[in-house]
Structure 1
Amino acid sequence: MNKIQDFIKHNQILNRSNNTIKAYVSDIRQFVDFICDKESEMKNITTLHIRHYLSYLSLKDVSKKSVARKLSSLKNFFDFLVQKGEISVNPAYILKSPKIGRFLPSVLSVKEFTKIRNIIFKNDFASKRDRTILEFLYSSGVRSEELLSIRDRDIDLKNREALVTGKGSKERVVFFSYEAQSSLLDYLPLKKTKFPEATFSFVNRFGTKLSSRFLRKLVNKYASLAGIEKEVTPHTFRHSFATLLMDQGVSLKIIQELLGHSSISSTQIYTHISREELKRSYDRYAIK
């Protein structure tokens, strides 16, 4: 798997996130397994091979969004092979991604988040950690990996600020609520007493960094316990953060900066206006 290993190193040099690289590699290996037994045969891949693979994915009812991502991964991989001189033409270049309808992400209202918050009432280490995580996610809009990579030295409790490292290893300052500040003041001293050598702020029962999988399970658990029926993921908190700001009249540019987006077009999907806000606007301005 030398070509894939070289591709991994190439993306690491480009400062692509670990999650992005993992997705690329998973997509490429799935394609290799479908098309050929040996990676060396990748140089013989044609556009027709890729068309057959995309048709297979469609027959398996793989979502258009997933198909588009897999095609993007293949385009990136074959571009890399062209740059290395392994192949002369990218066989995926002319293929178009399936059209994906506009996706309006799920959000948590303040009322729904309050229900989740109130579920956590114990004073043990795990409960204090979990409440702090949820408060921080909801009030800062950080990505999962940004949250999990925060170290104690990155947090300014007095000013309610934290330094996070986003996509492409770009650093930015995020802000958090008074509730998150209070939870951090309650949790961090306990963590330092229990795990004095731990540098990451959010750790497991062994004092090591939490995984993305653990965070997803944590969020899902408390949403279920609170009776929230819709799917809730760590990214739902990010959507909710942006939506609440938009509803309160915060400009798109400021939301872009707070979310750490390099392009404002990436921000626009988060800024759908809630149905409640639309109704309020209608009641204020529509013909009586």
Structure 2
Amino acid sequence: MASPLTLATDTADPDGRIVEPRKLTRDLPHGWATLIRDWDRTLRAGNYSPATRYNYLLAVAQLARYLNTGDDVPEAAAVRRAQVESFQAWMIETRSAATALNKHKALQQFFRWLAEDGEIERSPMEHVRQPKTPQPMIPIIHSDDTRRLLDVCRDRDFTSLRDKAIMRLLANTGARLSEVALLHIDDLDMDRDIVRYHGKGAKDRQVRFGPTTGRALSKYLRIRDRHRHAGSTRRLWLAVRGDRPLSANGIKLMLRRRGLAAGVAHVHAHRWRHTFAHEWKLAGGDTGDLMLLLGWASEEMARRYGASAAAERAQQIHARLKVGEHG
């Protein structure tokens, strides 16, 4: 069992690896490192997920390093709007607008906490505008492509059965990559064919899976029981070698590898999530029910997902209604 000190200082990155905040701050001045450590305590008390905590702490550490121009890094209380805007512009140039937006949101939370804790009077983020991010049209993945991907997993070895179960679950439930990656064995109810996902914001939800997905999961669970490291973790997905569970990044690489083998380009988990939303709307499914199944709190997400296939839905509805062809 981890010691109280370890539990109090460790956090995890999005793939579930343990990362100590002091490793993120080891080259920073004491003042910054102390604030980041103390903020992490507040985030833990607020039950923020390990991945969110990691990304929040990383953003603050990156800002501090950016402000280090060779002289002393300014204290957090001395940071001004222009410095944050310069950091944000640099993030857009060297990473992307989407990454810069994530850093913006993290820094908003950090400086708000500093103000609430009495370290600063006003946040330098007050008049810093969020970077505008383009909304790329993510293409859905058609059933023929999914079939081709599943065909390259037709063997009965451990890797094939695991990869087929992962793809079936992604396609059948529209879950996020991180939600599928972090599943535990106990999250599967094989009697009722239900999976429990641990979504963003500590929101759990239950989603039913179909009989084909159930069979794929059953076959994987049986061969998992025979894996040499089956007892090393309760996480559902095991790596082929070693006693570590398969990470989200490992699943991402697996999908890319299977896509190359199947001749399907740009295979990633979110395409199935968009496809799920598209097919749900095409079948006349209720938006509120879709939000519950996919773990959304805003209708904006329901409008955004499946948008790449909106024209296809409109054409099919137009053909069915035969607008302008009567009389």
TM-score after normalising by structure 2: 0.80
Amino acid at match of 1:217: L
Letter in 1 for 2:87: Y
C-alpha change, 1:16 and 1:88, in structure 2 (3 Å) is same
Deviation at 1:82, TM superposition (A): 1.1
* RMSD across aligned positions (CA): 2.1
Name stretches of at least 5 consecutive residues in structure 1 with no aligned partner.
none
DSSP 3-state at the match of 1:173: strand
- Match of residue 88 from structure 2: 54
AA matched with 1:175: R
| SS of alignment partner, residue 95 of structure 1 | coil
**Alpha-carbon offset, residue 45 of structure 1:** 0.6
Whether 2:324 is the aligned partner of 1:287: answer: yes
The answer to whether the aligner puts 1:179 opposite 2:221 as a matched pair is no
Task: Give secondary structure in 2 for the equivalent of 1:174.
Answer: strand
Contact 1:160 1:175 in 2 (8 A): yes
Aligned sequence identity (%): 21
In 1: Cα distance, 2:175 partner to 2:51 partner: 15
Aligned partner of 1:24 in structure 2 is 56
What is the TM-score of this pair, normalised by structure 1? 0.90
- What secondary structure, in the 3-state scheme, does the structure 1 residue paired with 2:267 have? coil
Counterpart AA for 1:287: G
Whichever residue aligns with residue 264 of structure 2, its letter is I
Displacement after TM superposition at 1:175 (Å): 1.5
Q: CA deviation at 1:259?
A: 0.7
Cα distance in 2 for partners of 1:20, 1:232 equals 25
CA change 1:140–1:82 in 2 (3 A) is same
Question: Could you report, residue by residue, the CA deviation over 1:192-240 in whole angstroms, capped at 9, with x for unpaired residues?
Answer: 12244242221113343221111111111112222222x3322222222
User: What is the rounded CA distance, in whole Å, between the counterparts of 1:44 and 1:280 in structure 2?
Assistant: 58
**Equivalent residue, structure 2, for 1:258:** 293
8 Å contact kept, 1:146–1:164:
yes
Residues 162-171 or 110-119, more deviating: 162-171
- Aligned residues of 1:152 and 1:200 also touching (Cα < 8 A): yes
Other structure's SS at 2:75 match: helix
Identify the match of residue 218 of structure 1 among 220, 237, 254: 254
**Larger relative contact order, structure 1 or 2 (CA cutoff 8 Å, min sep 6):** 1
Offset of residue 89 of structure 1 = 1.0
What residue ranges of structure 2 are gaps of 5+ in the alignment?
A: 1-32
Quickly say closer, same or farther: Cα 1:193–1:38, change in 2 above 3 A.
Answer: farther
Q: Give the aligned length.
A: 286
The ranges of structure 1 where at least 4 consecutive aligned residues each deviate by more than 4 angstroms after the TM superposition are: 37-40
Partner of 2:78: 44
